[in-house]
Amino acid sequence: MDLGLRDKVAIVGGASQGLGYAIADALAREGAKLVIWARRNPALAEAAERLAKTHGAEVVPVLGDVREAADHEKVVAAAMSRFGRVDILVNNDGAPPIGRIMNFDDASWEKAVRQNLMSVVRLTRLVVPSMRARRWGRIVNITAISVVAPIAGFGLSVASWAGLVGFAKTLSRELGPEGITVNTLCPGRIDTGLLQRSLNAQAQVEGRPLEAVLADAIERIPLGRLGRPEEIGAVVAFLVSEQASYVTGTTLQVDGGSLESLL
């Protein structure tokens, strides 16, 4: 199936590894032009080189911190300078620290809000004018299944991402008439380095062995396994495609069926 993404310009955050790289890889395979950004080199430069070599994609890597407003401007400026527009924005990063919710001070909460909510607000403000000019745009926010099924110890992420879901839903209603869709993806347990760090932290919070925490997590997944990063990449590629032009305002879990809820 042709997703209609050839020569579309996409900004993908956290793309040096994990879910961000898998998303960038899926878009590059469909012929999109990419601006990828993350905090660390040489991982980012290596990711850009790999994407270009594998898919023949035009890739611009930009070093930046998702919590810093100046870096948001730098990333969008790089896209506009190289390609003259932004068609797709994928907001993706790691997550704030894990721990008991009452143990975090104001500074920790402010960092979490900057990372999970304000980064999306700022980047959206910066790219929407380009999308409006063509009456076409796709915005996808990557969160986690804990947004719709809170987990003890994940309070910073749950609270700040819950605000993001509200922002995205409202935004979808305001931008829909201009041909811009906004969706939020909630991955479940996906086999990445971030998951391993998350499970380690969860094991420490709960005072249990890592092996037991992992076994419990897999047992609650009807498909009986962890997800693969490329499975998230495939869903994002669909959501930003021409075929998904009637999908907006959704909060979609991709979790192997683990969410125990009708909604």
- Average pLDDT of the chain to the nearest whole number: 96
pLDDT band of residue 152 (cuts 50, 70, 90) is: confident
Element spanning 161, H or E? helix 155-175
Q: What is the pLDDT of residues 67-123, one digit of tens each?
A: 999 999 999 999 999 999 999 999 999 888 888 999 999 999 999 999 999 999 999
Q: pLDDT at position 251, please?
A: 97
Give the model confidence (pLDDT) of 155-189 as tens digits.
Answer: 999 999 999 999 999 999 999 999 999 999 999 99
Taking the domains of the chain in order of start, what are their residue ranges? 9-190+227-254
Per-residue buried b or exposed e for 191-210, using 16+ beta carbons within 10 Å of the residue's own CB:
ebebbeebbebbbebeeeee
Task: Give yes or no for a contact between 229 and 190, defined as CB atoms under 8 angstroms apart.
Answer: yes
Its CATH architecture, for the domain 9-190+227-254, is 3-Layer(aba) Sandwich (3.40)
